[in-house]
Structure 1
Amino acid sequence: MLRKLLSIYKNSTLFSGRPTHPSELVYTFYDEIANEWIGIPKAELGEKELTLLKTLYELVEIQPVSFSRIGKTWSEFLLSDGPPPIYKDDTPLRFIHFYITGDDHHQEEMESALKGFFSEEIIIIWESKNIGIVIEEKKQIFLSEEELLSMAETLESDFYVKISFFIGKLNPFSIQLRTKFKQEQEYFSFAIAYLGFSNILSFERVFPSYLVRHLPDELQQKINQEIFELFSNDTEMFSTIKFFLEQNLNASMTAKKLYIHRNTLQYRIDKFTEKTGIGLKDFYGAFTVFLACLLFEQQKK
């Protein structure tokens, strides 16, 4: 069947084996029955044709990145359980995972732009067209969370894409680094799938929702049902309380960002405490209510 497409799309190419260095300007399709691949220029396919071909064949996403030697070693170590790269033990490293929405970007251009923001040499490897990892060795200066947020905003403006960063922890180089990488990878994948878009993510921002997601049903049912009932009847109350907790109980900041008067905010907080009997000014009350907020949000989806 793929061979018939050659006569329709004159600039297409048929492959007997999986292509390893496809052009960014080509869609690659795989015919499982014939065990053949075909590359068709993107410019020759309209939206309806692309949809039809994706129904008939597997659209293959092939990583078109030519790794440097050290990049290839890191990729094999982290993604394919290969041997570790040669590094001095205890060298401090951190991973910055990133996810780029959309398909209208070129990896080489994006990689060049990312490297321009870092003061030290970094390594970038790609898991797929949209997901990659920055490997950063701590020598002098690390980019702060604010600088990464500024980077995300600049890239969005320049490339018309949205980018999300998961900031990993600083760890000494060792064979155990792969295990720590895979855990961060799991948290980041969870955040992309369940938490909605955010420019900046980290373990402490993701783990509470990750924990709630994995609570056994019997524990979920023990969360104060009065809170759920209140949130169900007053969604404005829910969004206000959750945002207030996310702002570290800072009433001025919460009121400012929600565009409400501080007295209005205090009224809603007092009403919540009156209805549930739980105060938000101590750690235990705030922690319990925050877990309830996450669980309520999860159950709505």
Structure 2
Amino acid sequence: MSTTDWLTPLQHILNCQVRFITFSLSDWKGLVQQADTSWAYDDNRDKISEGNRAANNGKTWIVVKVSGNAVETLEIDGELKQAEAELITWTLQWNQAQQQLAPKPSTLSESESFALKLSEWIQQQLESEEPSYSIPDHLTAGGKLFAEMIPFLLVTEYTNGKQASYPELEKLLRSFLAEDILLIPLKNQEWLIWGPVSLLKEADSEFMEDEDEETVEDSLTSICHGLHEMLASEWIGECHLAVAHPVCPAKGIVETTVLLRETINLGRKFHVGTSIHLPWMLQLERLLNAIPEVQRSRYLEHALKRTELFVEAEMLATLETFFSLDCNVSETAKKLYIHRNTLLYRLDKLKQETGLDVRQFRDAVLVKIILLLYKVTKRN
């Protein structure tokens, strides 16, 4: 049984937040040295193994797995009772022992074996203080990765407890995208997918009848929506998907992985309920996220002192629709099924109470910022 299978049940049992955190070996040793209390298997503190524990400042960390320079741990908010900590430690050690005794899995396919080696190299670069951004020659698949490809990042939820295998997901992707794809498993529930650039031409052909010229971003968005719909219905259910502009994997796989991870994190943080995340649509969110939380909260508090009208359900829905339609009054009224004058009345009311007219670019930007900050603050 995988440790991830019982993460959610464990949170319910302990009645506190439990999450996976990965440390480097040096960071873990530093944490143990500074900890209020720590426990090492067989009292050998120089050896890091499954079940080792450290507690400090109201948090407890328990080692789940040691892989190379990475120490994967459970981070538990709150101090555990002695019996709870020992039970979790015993479970991890028993799980590790069972895995070692279990028969070895059947021989991996050539593509999966290569993907695992590439995944290990990517993880090492992401955790390194001085990462290499170019894939070493022995991992370039005979030069195949020097051609531009379309990168996607898939993060699954596994709400139904089902987990697909590498061959299963690879088969689905090849049937939807193309035979020439590259699937790389990263962390648990996270997959890096590379598809051929020819997909853009196929997407463009679907819009040949449209008078407006299709942009690269439009084509990527269309592909991403289609892929998400297929995965959600045919594979595993709820999932998050991000896509970026085509890039040469051999030169940009590490930077692209960082970008796509950031894109999904920003999308989930600022746009709850959205499953498709596009980096070119999250520029403002990226900027706001870089501002210290204290300053963000202070600005929002100041803005909401003037009126709570911003966050009333009707006004919130009106403004979000208005912004999603590029501040077009007529289209917004149609989308909301209200008369144009009704929409103008709501916008005038907002202007009277706040002094901000969202039909003016400067004021629209300020209101958009307030709404984004409100979403994050409300969730926290």
Paired residue for 1:95, among 144, 151, 157? 151
Paired residue for 1:212, among 280, 288, 296? 288
Are the counterparts in 1 of residues 270 and 375 from structure 2 also a CA contact under 8 Å? no
Q: Which moved more, 1:174-183 or 1:218-227?
A: 218-227
1:202 has 2:278 as partner:
yes
Question: Cα deviation per residue 1:93-125 (whole Å; 9 max; x = unaligned)?
Answer: 331011222131413323321221114611011
Give the aligned residue type for 2:168.
Answer: E
* Corresponding residue of 1:245: 323
Are the counterparts in 2 of residues 228 and 292 from structure 1 also a CA contact under 8 Å? no
CA distance in structure 2 between the aligned counterparts of 1:218 and 1:287, rounded to whole angstroms: 18
Q: 1:252, CA displacement in angstroms?
A: 4.2
* Corresponding residue of 1:284: 362
Question: Cα deviation per residue 1:210-247 (whole Å; 9 max; x = unaligned)?
Answer: 33233233365346625863346733212321231122
* Corresponding residue of 1:46: none
* Corresponding residue of 1:163: 239
CA distance in structure 2 between the aligned counterparts of 1:218 and 1:129, rounded to whole angstroms: 34
Paired residue for 2:230, among 140, 147, 154? 154
Q: Which moved more, 1:138-147 or 1:182-191?
A: 138-147
Structure with the higher helix share, 1 or 2: 2
CA distance in structure 1 between the aligned counterparts of 2:321 and 2:199, rounded to whole angstroms: 35
Write out aligned runs for 1:168-179 (5 A). Answer: 168-173=244-249, 175-179=251-255
Give the aligned residue type for 2:51.
Answer: E
Are the counterparts in 1 of residues 150 and 194 from structure 2 also a CA contact under 8 Å? yes
Give the aligned residue type for 2:118.
Answer: W
Are the counterparts in 2 of residues 101 and 163 from structure 1 also a CA contact under 8 Å? yes
CA distance in structure 1 between the aligned counterparts of 2:366 and 2:316, rounded to whole angstroms: 14
1:293 has 2:343 as partner:
no
Are the counterparts in 1 of residues 322 and 329 from structure 2 also a CA contact under 8 Å? yes
Q: TM-score, normalised by structure 1?
A: 0.68
Aligned pair in 2 of structure 1 residues 205, 242: CA closer, same or farther (>3 Å)?
Answer: same
Identity of aligned residues (%): 21
* Corresponding residue of 2:262: 186
1:74 has 2:118 as partner:
yes
Are the counterparts in 1 of residues 240 and 277 from structure 2 also a CA contact under 8 Å? yes
Paired residue for 1:269, among 318, 340, 347? 347
Are the counterparts in 1 of residues 51 and 89 from structure 2 also a CA contact under 8 Å? no
* Corresponding residue of 1:5: none
Q: TM-score, normalised by structure 2?
A: 0.56
1:138 has 2:197 as partner:
yes
Are the counterparts in 2 of residues 191 and 206 from structure 1 also a CA contact under 8 Å? yes
Aligned pair in 2 of structure 1 residues 116, 183: CA closer, same or farther (>3 Å)?
Answer: same
Paired residue for 1:32, among 27, 39, 51? 51
CA distance in structure 2 between the aligned counterparts of 1:141 and 1:119, rounded to whole angstroms: 12
CA distance in structure 1 between the aligned counterparts of 2:224 and 2:311, rounded to whole angstroms: 38
Aligned pair in 2 of structure 1 residues 180, 113: CA closer, same or farther (>3 Å)?
Answer: closer
Give the SS at the match of 2:149. Answer: strand
Question: Cα deviation per residue 1:174-229 (whole Å; 9 max; x = unaligned)?
Answer: 54542243233233234345642323111133342333233233365346625863
CA distance in structure 2 between the aligned counterparts of 1:160 and 1:91, rounded to whole angstroms: 30
Paired residue for 2:180, among 121, 145, 149? 121
Structure 2 portions without partners, runs of 5+: 1-48, 53-62, 66-86, 100-104, 126-131, 204-218
* Corresponding residue of 1:10: none
Give the SS at the match of 1:196. Answer: coil
Point out which structure has higher relative CO (alpha carbons under 8 A, 6+ apart).
1
CA distance in structure 1 between the aligned counterparts of 2:306 and 2:373, rounded to whole angstroms: 9
CA distance in structure 2 between the aligned counterparts of 1:241 and 1:170, rounded to whole angstroms: 33
Give the aligned residue type for 1:289.
Answer: V
Q: Over the residues paired in the alignment, what is the CA RMSD in angstroms? A: 3.7
Question: Cα deviation per residue 1:242-279 (whole Å; 9 max; x = unaligned)?
Answer: 23112211334434444444433222122112222222
Are the counterparts in 1 of residues 307 and 354 from structure 2 also a CA contact under 8 Å? no
Give the aligned residue type for 2:177.
Answer: F
Paired residue for 2:164, among 106, 115, 118? 106
Give the aligned residue type for 2:162.
Answer: D
Aligned pair in 2 of structure 1 residues 227, 98: CA closer, same or farther (>3 Å)?
Answer: farther
